[in-house]
Chain A
Amino acid sequence: DVKVTQSSRYLVKRTGEKVFLECVQDMDHENMFWYRQDPGLGLRLIYFSYDVKMKEKGDIPEGYSVSREKKERFSLILESASTNQTSMYLCASSRGGNQPQHFGDGTRLSIL
């Protein structure tokens, strides 16, 4: 079974802090994704990566950056956290564009 592991289930940070969310997958998948999920808005794509060191902006990249130094790891960085970034963050991976996405358990991030 594919396993996508997010480093924290719950995280509380302060406004202005630099925040790192980590995601690791164990199935050698090429593609990795970061989403945020908010009530009434559904899942929205922040960034995705189709190879090591490659990244593409999703629908809402403002205020975020990503890093993919190794194939199995995809990090989401909040450069200067703000309260409107309080959300559920979900990481996913897939083998290719026509293959199913597999999700981690999510990180519920609160910015105070």
Chain B
Amino acid sequence: KQEVTQIPAALSVPEGENLVLNCSFTDSAIYNLQWFRQDPGKGLTSLLLIQSSQREQTSGRLNASLDKSSGRSTLYIAASQPGDSATYLCAVVSGTYKYIFGTGTRLKVLA
């Protein structure tokens, strides 16, 4: 059974720092992996999707990498800003329509 883990559960960093969020999964047979952002009381906003054949995806200050063999993905945020404060979730797609979510990392960027 696929399990997705995100460590740490919470993180506080000063503004301007580069940071890495981690996502681990137990079954490497995935279709793709998606990173989301969730603001308090809101839905999820899609950030990046990495297909299983890809190694990384970039969007602005965000870079997501995927290493299927080791069951890991990282989300790199460059030059963090207070507006980046949110909960970040990863989800792996294992089997058709089957999204398995991690419980997220709650990020706080201090001004």
| Cross-chain contact B43 with A48 (CB below 8 angstroms) | no
Give Cα distance in the complex from A99 to B34, angstroms: 9
Given A97-B96, A98-B93, is A105 in contact with B42 using a C-beta cutoff of 8 Å?
yes
How many whole Å from B44's CB to the nearest CB in chain A?
A: 4
In the complex, what residues of A have CB within 8 A of residue B104's CB?
Answer: 42
Q: Say whether A13 faces chain B, with CB atoms less than 8 Å apart.
A: no
| Cross-chain contact B43 with A40 (CB below 8 angstroms) | no
Contact of B101 among A6, A42, A56 (CB under 8 A): A42
Give Cα distance in the complex from A41 to B41, angstroms: 16
Given A48-B97, A50-B97, A56-B97, is A100 in contact with B102 using a C-beta cutoff of 8 Å?
no
In the complex, what residues of B have CB within 8 A of residue A33's CB?
Answer: 97, 99
For the complex, count residues of A whose C-beta is within 8 A of B: 25
In the complex, what residues of A have CB within 8 A of residue B34's CB?
Answer: 100-101
Contact of A103 among B43, B93, B98 (CB under 8 A): B43
Q: Say whether B45 faces chain A, with CB atoms less than 8 Å apart.
A: yes
Give Cα distance in the complex from A30 to B34, angstroms: 19
Which of A4, A103, A108 has the most chain B CB within a 10 Å cutoff? A103
Interface residues of A (CB under 8 A from B): 4, 6, 31, 33, 40-43, 45, 48, 50, 56, 90, 92, 97-106, 108
Interface residues of B (CB under 8 A from A): 31-32, 34, 36, 41-46, 49, 51, 89, 91, 93, 96-99, 101-104
